[in-house]
Amino acid sequence: MELELFKPSKKVLEMICLDEKELLRTYEIIPFGTYHQMMESYPLVERGLFSKIISFYNEEGLALNEESKRRLDYQGIHNVTGELFKNWADHSQENSNIFAGFFFGKKGICYGFKEEFFKNEYIKNKLENKIPFEEFDKNPRERCAHSGFNKHIFPCSDFIEVDSEKGVLYCVQFKESIIAPEGKHGSEYCYELRKNKRIISE
């Protein structure tokens, strides 16, 4: 089955796992439809993703219980997965389903999205090097493209890799980038963390 081959590279797995045997992975296949139908699917996928992250790290001893779920950076996770999903809903070719894979490791999480768009070598280079998109061309669904990468996906991804042969984009978020220390609010703390990283790199 095709999805069984849909897995990040060894380099990515080493970033998120201490041992590949401990990797937890799940997949979603969201069917092509009208823009409204496609966008209606995502909140269900996202809520399930949040629950899986909380459940996985509960088992890792981080105690993201009812009182401490606020430590999860819901906004940062949404900025990556939500924008990738919206990009597909806005610009996908007719009858093009999207395959999403979520990979959970002790050191972080990787989101994989399989779509024809990512088979382009020019796109691969821009994404992997986080080169801002300046041209906002229209594509089959008549919506302008790419701004979500600049504003949301690039700053919220610790690492990006593209398998252009299979057409899969992988975005990594390290555990410390999406789970705030005890007593901190995830979306606020992790936003400041990202902002400080940008300042240092500049």
Backbone angles phi, psi at 58, to 5 degrees: -60, -45
What is d(CA 128, CA 70) in angstroms, rounded to the nearest whole number?
30
Q: Is residue 42 one of the residues assigned to a domain?
A: yes
E strands, the chain, are: 24-30, 98-105, 108-114, 159-163, 168-174
- Of 45 and 88, more confident: 45
As a whole number, the mean pLDDT across the chain is 83
Work out how many domains the chain is built from and give that number.
1
126-165 exposure pattern, b = at least 16 Cβ within 10 A, e = fewer: bbeeeeebeeeeeeeeeeebbebbeebbbbbbbbbbbbbe
In terms of average pLDDT, the best of 137-141, 148-152, 159-163 is: 159-163
Instruction: Specify the CATH number for the domain of residue 55.
Output: 3.30.565
* Cross-strand pairs, 144: 138
Instruction: Summarize pLDDT for 176-195 with one digit per residue, the tens.
Output: 999 998 888 999 999 998 88
Q: Is residue 10 one of the residues assigned to a domain?
A: no
Q: Is residue 195 one of the residues assigned to a domain?
A: no
Q: Is residue 144 one of the residues assigned to a domain?
A: yes
Domain of residue 149: give its range: 33-186
Mean pLDDT of 20-30: 87
Q: What pLDDT is attached to residue 89?
A: 73
Q: Which of 79, 76, 87, 90 is nearest to 143 (CA)?
A: 90
What is d(CA 34, CA 18) in angstroms, rounded to the nearest whole number?
41
Instruction: Summarize pLDDT for 97-144 with one digit per residue, the tens.
Output: 778 899 999 999 999 998 888 898 998 999 999 998 876 555 545 555
Q: What pLDDT is attached to residue 2?
A: 47
